[in-house]
Chain A
Amino acid sequence: MLDTADARTGGRRQFRLRRPGPGTLVRAAVVTGLLLILLFAAPALLSAYYVDSMTQVAVYAMLAIGLGLLVGRVGLVSLGQIAVFAIGAWVTARLLFATSQPYPLVLLEAGASTMAVGTLVGLPALRLRGLYLALITLMLAGAFSIVLATTNFPNGGHGFLGYNGSSVHIPPIRRPSIATTDPAYFRYAVAVAALMFALVYAHIRTRPGRAWIAIRQSEPAAIAAGINTTMYKLWAFALASFITGVAGGIYAGAVHFLYSIDFPAQDSIILLAVVLMGGVYSMWGAIVAALLLQLLPALLNDWGVSADWLTILFGVGVLQVLTTAPAGLADQVPKDLARLGRLILRSTGPRHRQGVSEHDRG
């Protein structure tokens, strides 16, 4: 409600007036601490197997924040994110084989091309809303996966497609020169993911973020408030596609070899389910989703449990989220912990009650 008015008039001033409270500082410290641990301690502590899966967590955190941005901030559901991811990986591989450009530049180019594709798809698709938008992205992703199965990924061949048709003597996709080893590449992936998260954070705390919230609440109200809804929706599409494309670029370097079978259209459905489970209204939700998608399977594999149980869990999870807990795990778990804490407090003595009820109100 407030955001609708914000985006047009007093938004900027209000934002400047908001002083960073102790909560903001604590949060910033926690994020920095976690990032430092991930960058420096984690590669040393984890085995090669888990460094690998943590690199994938970084990749999927980018995928999840991209989709979470669309679903949670703007209210657009895409069932074709894996196709965008595949395009990012394809462009990265093609450019890396064809040129000797530095890796970050290739990542940017991959992101720019998926951004162009996302905008091109988004332009006509934005006439549709809700369910129909979700279905058209599903259709386009399905069509794309068939094209991809025929063209294959570049593997050092010539021509536009760069596919040489053979499966022997394939050169691996190169990594950046500063991150050729697995632990170094893990750090690289985490750093890129952190940059993407910062990019999203910068958006949602400023004008576009407020416009998106207004659109999510009510599109007619947003239009009435003078928000250019088409532009901001396209902007969200472009930003999410950019991030997803960069994720594809990081994925290409992580695995060295790309196969179209690794990008099945049904993964888009699983991604949506897990992103909803993680929580779309908080950036932590994207990290939870990535852990569920990549670390949990690695753990289960380690323990000898079939990964099929995960698919079942994700299915149950999405039903649970949609019926009872719309903000997902990132919101539900802290709330439940707080409730548990309050229960413990209450059982230890009645004098805490005053403080507890005040906390409830806040």
Chain B
Amino acid sequence: MPSWQDFQPFIVTGLALGGVYALSGVGLVVLYRATGVVYLAFGAVGAMGALIAWSVTNAHVQAWVGWLACLLFSGAVTLGYGMLFGPALSKRDPLVKATATLGLLLVLFGLMDLLWTTSGGQSRAITLPTDNSGFIIGQIQVTWTQVIGLAAGFAITAVTGAFLRYTKLGTAMRAMANDREITATLGVPVRRVEAAAWLGCGLLAGLAGLLLADMVALDATTLTFLVISALAAALIGRLRSITLTLAAAIVIGLVQNLLVPIPSLSNYNDMTPFVLAATALLVLSRRHVIARSREET
């Protein structure tokens, strides 16, 4: 059994990763509540944004231009998809809506493989200026990027919570989550509210893509499927509660990283989100919490 010393650095990486999962999970929950779409292309959009940021930075332009390009791309693609396919699929089953986002995932995945080819073994990396500076707690080195990751998770959750509670647009989103038809009857501009949700989710995808590309790896496949970890957190939050999503994301990040120093389990640490989400789904189904959702109508 490894000693406490071995675990310490992984607490930091776990918390940082958990923070990013949290902000992704919150994006997924808000979009699902407002539009009924489980946005499975979240990771692919962020991955392509990160690759664009890498290309821009490599062209010897200021790095912040690259980050801005990443956010703009992710926001634009997500908004564009939402505007194009959202209305067409709005009356369909949530399953169909989610499957359609798999279509977007495949398109982006193919494009990434085509434009940023992985053959030839060249590796890419995004380094943020906050990677190299930081501070030391006890004996653990903490970088500012890791602080940003964790802080962003908490901040986004808090801001989103306040936004949903206190603003007009947020109230409209909550109303749409309850009943789209009635909300429309009350004179809420449904399409515009949905567009706002899509745009917000897209921007979060870009942010998550950048941070994960820095913390994990700048690789299309890895980043595309890291969405599953965020989705796992969102599912534990029943695609409903952003506070629960935040807590679940932090736990997933921590458990996943704390398993690394344990030799017999280190190969299996990436299973954490899958196992936790599958368990959560089964437990929730036992309590019939998710049986009565909007798909019943």
**Hey, which bits of chain A sit against chain B, CB under 8 A?**
77, 124-125, 127-132, 134-136, 138-140, 142-143, 146-147, 149-150, 264-266, 269-270, 272-273, 276, 306, 308-319, 322-323
Contacts and interface: CB of A to CB of B under 8 A. Distances in A.
A136 B278 contact: yes
B103 A134 contact: no
Contact of B99 (A125, A140, A276, A313): A276
Contacts of B295: 129-131
Interface stretch (B56-64, B88-96, B138-146): B88-96
B277 interface: yes
Interface residues of B, number: 47
B98 to A, nearest CB: 6
A301 to B, nearest CB: 14
Given A135-B281, A143-B275, A150-B267, 8 more contacts: A124-B285, A127-B286, A132-B285, A134-B98, A139-B232, A142-B228, A315-B104, A322-B100
Interface stretch (B109-117, B195-203, B244-252): B109-117
A158 B100 CA distance: 45
8 contacts: A128-B285, A130-B95, A139-B274, A140-B278, A146-B274, A150-B267, A316-B103, A316-B107
Interface string B269-291: 01101110110011001100011
Contacts of A139: 228, 232, 273-275, 277-278, 281
Contacts of B281: 128, 132, 135-136, 139
Contact of B270 (A128, A132, A146): A146
A130 B281 CA distance: 13
A262 B110 CA distance: 18
Contact of A134 (B89, B95, B104): B95
A322 B37 CA distance: 14
Question: Which has the most chain B C-beta neighbours within 10 Å: A147, A272, A309, A311?
Answer: A311
Question: Which has the most chain A C-beta neighbours within 10 Å: B94, B102, B225, B270?
Answer: B102
Given A128-B285, A272-B102, A315-B110, A146 B38 contact: no
Nearest to A124: B282
B221 interface: yes
Contacts of B104: 315, 319
B268 to A, nearest CB: 6
A136 B291 CA distance: 14
Contacts of A149: 267
Interface string B253-273: 000000000000001101101
Which 7 A/B pairs are nearest by Cβ-Cβ distance? A315-B106, A311-B110, A315-B107, A312-B110, A143-B274, A319-B103, A318-B103
B107 A312 contact: yes
Contacts, number: 140
Nearest to B111: A312
Nearest to B96: A322
Contacts of B275: 139, 143
Contacts of B267: 146, 149-150
A77 B291 CA distance: 17
B105 interface: yes
Contacts of A135: 38, 98, 231, 235, 277, 281
Contacts of A124: 282, 285
B163 interface: no
B95 A131 contact: yes
Given A150-B268, A306-B114, A312 B106 contact: yes
A311 B109 contact: yes
A77 B225 CA distance: 19
A266 B110 CA distance: 12
B223 to A, nearest CB: 12
Contacts of B268: 146-147, 150
Question: Which has the most chain A C-beta neighbours within 10 Å: B93, B107, B282?
Answer: B107
Contacts of B114: 306, 308-309, 312
A326 to B, nearest CB: 9
A124 to B, nearest CB: 5
Contacts of A140: 274, 278
Contacts of A311: 106-107, 109-110, 113
Contacts of B285: 124, 127-128, 132
B102 A269 contact: yes
Nearest to B235: A135
Contacts of B231: 135
A269 B108 CA distance: 13
Given A128-B281, A143-B278, A146-B271, A308 B99 contact: no
B99 A77 contact: yes
Contacts of A306: 114
B217 to A, nearest CB: 16
A149 B224 CA distance: 19
Question: Which has the most chain A C-beta neighbours within 10 Å: B38, B94, B278, B291?
Answer: B278
A144 to B, nearest CB: 9
A306 B228 CA distance: 28
A323 B96 CA distance: 9
B99 to A, nearest CB: 6
Question: Which has the most chain B C-beta neighbours within 10 Å: A142, A264, A276?
Answer: A142
A216 B275 CA distance: 29
A315 B109 contact: yes
A86 to B, nearest CB: 15
Question: Which has the most chain A C-beta neighbours within 10 Å: B99, B275, B291?
Answer: B99
B225 A130 contact: no
A258 B26 CA distance: 40
Nearest to A149: B267
A134 B221 CA distance: 20
B98 A314 contact: no
A127 B288 CA distance: 9
Contacts of B95: 77, 130-131, 134
Nearest to B228: A142
Contacts of A266: 109, 221, 224-225
